[in-house]
Amino acid sequence: MTTLGNGQKSRLPSGMKVAPTSYAKLELAAASLFPLLPKERGSVYVIEGWRVLEQTLSRAGYEPHVAEVHELEDCAAFTIPDKGLVVLRRDVYDGLFNGSVFSRSTVIHELSHIVLAHHVTLHRGAVLGQHKFYEDSEWQAKAMTAAVMMPVEACQEARGAHHLAEMCGTSVEAATYRLERLTKEKIVTP
């Protein structure tokens, strides 16, 4: 699910508890997925969100559904893997056709849930937010979205966050966070 938040980092996991995974595993999955996704004409890195939604996911058996804004007030999109359904708010869907970074990243976020096989699993005694981030469906999908949209090669090539955002069609905020994390792990040099 892609929620509409205030843009601040959460101190607690916000998704459902799922099988644990690491950044390294998410990076490997993203590196395998990226070459399969359609890119904008003339771009090496910018993923064409509308084609992912309407063609790639459709071929994988997922049906896109567009909901009106008043039907999804607190979230921009969600996926029901067991029903093969991806639901986007109308404004998010429309944004796919006018270059909206948020719309593009929302589709990749929902795709990440599908690739990571996030299905609702009820854990006896589990309390929302009382699990580790690496066990959190939203943390995993957000981390994989960043890795898919901003491959390590692009991060190594970029001359900073603004350049990376331009190269990959992401926000400067997302590019900044991605570069900081990869620099901390010594994958990218400052």
The domain that holds 123 is classified in CATH as 1.10.10.2910
**CA–CA separation, 148 vs 106, rounded Å?**
12
Q: Is residue 57 part of a domain?
A: yes
Q: Is residue 179 part of a domain?
A: no
Q: Is residue 174 part of a domain?
A: no
The pLDDT, as a whole number, for residue 82 is 86
The DSSP symbol for 39 reads B
Q: Is residue 189 part of a domain?
A: no
Closest-CA residue to 158 (of 140, 182, 129, 126): 182
The pLDDT, as a whole number, for residue 16 is 78
pLDDT digits (tens, 9 = 90+) for 40-57: 999 999 999 999 999 999
Q: Is residue 62 part of a domain?
A: yes
Print the domain residue range for 112: 19-150
pLDDT digits (tens, 9 = 90+) for 149-185: 999 999 999 999 999 999 999 999 999 999 999 999 9
Element (H, E) at 166: helix 161-168
**CA–CA separation, 82 vs 75, rounded Å?**
20
Q: Is residue 168 part of a domain?
A: no
136 token code pair? 């959190």
Q: Is residue 2 part of a domain?
A: no
Q: Say what the pTM is.
A: 0.88
How many domains does one find in the chain? 1
Q: Is residue 47 part of a domain?
A: yes
